[in-house]
A and B are shown apart, each in its own frame.
Chain A
Amino acid sequence: MRPPLRWIGWCLNLPGPAAAPPHGGPRRRGVLSDVIVPPIPRSRLRAGVGPRLRVTPQIETLPWIAAWLIAVPSVSAASGAPPRGAVEGTLRPLAAEDEQLLDRIQRDAFRYFLDQANPATGLVADASRPGAPASIAATGFGLAALCIGESRGWISHDEAYARVFRTLSTVRKRLAHERGFYYHFVDAATGERVWSSEASSIDTALLLAGALTAAQHFEGTEIELLGNYLYRRTEWPWMMTNDGLLSMGWKPEQGFLHATWDWYNEGILLYALALSSPTYPIPSEAWHRWRRAERVYAGTPVIYSYFGSLFTYQYAQAYIDFRHLYDGSVNYWQNSVNAAAANRQFCRDQAAQHAGYRQGYWGLTAGDGPSGYRGYGAEPAEVALHDGTINPYGMIAALPFDATAALDALKALLNGHGERIYGEYGFRSGFNLDQDWWSRQYLGIDQGISVLMIENVRSGRVWDTFMRNPYIRQWLGRCMAREPARKLPGS
């Protein structure tokens, strides 16, 4: 943080990062404690449960946000959530028929997080198949999904509050972790590490993004304190390698994994959270270290991910509203729009080889296939693996970027193969028409990104909620700008 801002915050005795004395003095014990969750003043609690979604920031942060907005006008304009009755900007209002269809798909996918969450811990199963462990990424998506379900009236306010609180309490007290990094797969009943899984940086980020969304949604309640506490206890610099990048994970048996987040992909959410931390931030240089490789496919320029999987362009955008943000010359929103277009075009170009592509389906992304879970993807990519398998969540999560194309394909899929690909939790994981293979299971992360992206295309609610978080503004101030340094070709 810049020294003048720290001084303003310190002089005003504000909570959060600005409350820390500028020259290493004692840290003020505010509502956001590093070590323990302090008791909440009664005046901040509302009848023991959280409030409904509202835009008002908590009283303690108002002066700080005001000072921050004055000090950094360009960033405040970039990060300020635009008004959203209906979605705006690059999004177009949905037709009533489409709204109805998306409501059904979203509600069915949401049900996954009611049925597949452990009733005692709130941890969400990685997949619907028997014996699947809990996944912290799915649990993170579940936290955000519960907020959406409450806002849409699918579950009562009290039930949503109880479920979110139970989950966050489990994460705080029982979920195995190393310096605030949680294990990828855990026992749903106990929270213990299973399957020799790694303490995963990206999955921790997905969990914490959900926790921060819930914290903002249930602002002024214990959930806000719990969510913020979990975020503040993660020691992001510990996960950094000598290259100045974040490692993909750590295992007790072998130490840090060799793989790092060194390409553009869903890892930008991880970097955004690590750079925003008020307690253990990583240096700003880390943001500029990962590779932004650009290639044009069929006339569409894309800063592409290594495998070209569509989800790599979507996960971070489920939480972060990139529409008015620029990383130098790059607008990642536009990049995801371009990536969706390139993915669709790639499927058209490969239509002769695969029946699924011929029928107009697209959205090549990581998911279940006839040979197991594969990192499917499309050009541009270093390795574009595809075998005709379609994972429908790829199209659903592309709704904000190209609603017309995604809706057309989804409608065609429901009309043509609805009985085989659609079930109690919405779309199943994948299908391959060439091999007449149909997945029988649902994956937590697939249903999660579906619920969140449908909500964003319908109301922008997840973006609004997440972007109100005071912490994420640190990253915005450090790494993002309102105006592009130069126009992205095709944008």
Chain B
Amino acid sequence: MTTHHRRRYLIKRGLQLRYMAVLIGAMALSAALAGALTYIGIWSRVIPDFSAARMAEKLETASRISEQEAARLGPRASGTLALFSQAKLLSAHEQESLASAMRGANQELAPVLAIILAAIGAASLLISHRLAGPVYRLEQAIAAVSAGRLDLTVRLRKGDELSELALALQELIDTWRGSAERTQALIGQLSAALTRLAPLAAQDDAARAAVTQLRSALRELEQEYRAYVVRPSPPA
């Protein structure tokens, strides 16, 4: 079995480049939006939390809570040691703040991401329709031609992909139709010639048999080509 290796990956350059651009653009846009929203969502919470005023508030609260614990449980540490207790509280609180910021950002991001996904889904539907539409139409055209409809005109919408393929198919149909028309005309001419030849061949058995054979073959040919619709019709 022969293995065929593709040497050129950009076989249909225009089509491929367009779809590469669409894919890359959609992914880049999604990533950029998600990144920006995550960044804004998290940092819009975290940055104010680290402002000088907020840090002063937190230091005071850490100190207060540490003092309240000491007032309730008994003084366990004082001076520098008390600072460790407050630092521990502050550290725990910063972790809580970050976790809370992440949770908050996630909660806010979820509906936004759902909207983005819906928008991408709708856009991909429209974009894929530009490819799927012509494919469907070409399939219909090929099926019609197989059934003998050589009077078709293949037309695609403006902006549809595969227009070159549609043009090639139209050329094939036109060529086929011309050939069929010429064959039908020849059948007519042959039929007329045989009609004129028949009285002359009546005297000779061999000639009569040949004419009969020719008529039979011509009838088969005529039936074969009668299936083809060659008159132009309104576009499908």
A interface residues, Cβ below 8 angstroms from B: 127, 129-133, 185, 187, 190, 192-197, 248, 257, 259, 306-307, 366, 372-375, 383
Contact = CB atoms under 8 A, between A and B. Distances in A.
Contacts of A194: 93, 96
Contacts of A374: 67, 71
A257 B62 contact: no
Given A192-B100, A374-B71, 12 more contacts: A129-B57, A129-B60, A132-B64, A187-B100, A194-B93, A195-B61, A195-B92, A196-B89, A259-B74, A306-B74, A375-B70, A375-B72
A104 B92 CA distance: 41
Contacts of A257: 73
B163 interface: no
A372 B67 contact: yes
Most A-side CB within 10 Å, residue of B58, B63, B68: B68
A129 B89 CA distance: 18
B182 interface: no
Contact of B64 (A248, A306, A307, A373): A373
A195 B65 CA distance: 8
28 contacts: A127-B64, A129-B57, A129-B60, A130-B53, A130-B57, A131-B60, A132-B61, A133-B61, A192-B96, A194-B93, A195-B61, A195-B65, A195-B89, A195-B93, A196-B89, A196-B93, A259-B72, A259-B74, A306-B74, A372-B63, A372-B67, A373-B67, A373-B68, A374-B67, A374-B71, A375-B70, A375-B72, A383-B74
Nearest to A194: B96
Contacts of B67: 372-374
A196 B96 contact: yes
A210 to B, nearest CB: 19
Given A195-B93, A196-B93, A372 B64 contact: yes
A140 B74 CA distance: 24
Given A131-B57, A187-B100, A195-B61, A375 B71 contact: yes
Interface size range of chain B in the complex: 20 to 34
Given A129-B57, A130-B57, A196-B93, A259 B100 contact: no
The 10 closest A-B pairs by CB, nearest first: A131-B57, A375-B71, A196-B92, A373-B67, A372-B67, A259-B73, A366-B71, A373-B68, A195-B93, A130-B57
Nearest to B82: A372
B71 A131 contact: no
Most B CB atoms within 10 A — which of A132, A196, A306, A366?
Answer: A196
Nearest to B95: A196
Contacts of B96: 192-196
A131 B73 contact: no
Nearest to B58: A131
Nearest to A203: B72
Given A374-B67, A374-B71, A131 B93 contact: no
B163 to A, nearest CB: 58
Contacts of B58: 131
Nearest to A197: B65
Interface in B27-66: 53-54, 57-58, 60-65
A383 B68 CA distance: 16
A130 B48 CA distance: 14
A258 to B, nearest CB: 9
Nearest to B65: A195
Given A194-B96, A257-B73, A131 B64 contact: no
Contacts of A133: 61
A375 B68 CA distance: 8
Interface string B72-106: 11100000000000001100110010001000000
B92 A248 contact: no
A192 B103 CA distance: 12
A458 to B, nearest CB: 30
Most buried by A among B64, B70, B88, B89: B64
Contacts of B64: 127, 132, 372-373
Nearest to B91: A196
Nearest to B55: A131
Nearest to B59: A131
A193 B100 CA distance: 11
A372 B59 CA distance: 12
A375 B60 CA distance: 18
A269 B74 CA distance: 20
Given A130-B57, A196-B92, A375-B72, A185 B65 contact: yes
Contacts of A372: 63-64, 67
Interface string B104-138: 00000000000000000000000000000000000
Contacts of B65: 185, 195, 197
A383 B75 CA distance: 10
Residue of A129, A133, A194 ringed by the most chain B CB atoms within 10 A:
A194
Contacts of B61: 129, 131-133, 195
Contacts of B62: 195
B32 to A, nearest CB: 30
A300 B61 CA distance: 38
A194 B98 CA distance: 12
A192 B101 CA distance: 13
Nearest to A196: B92
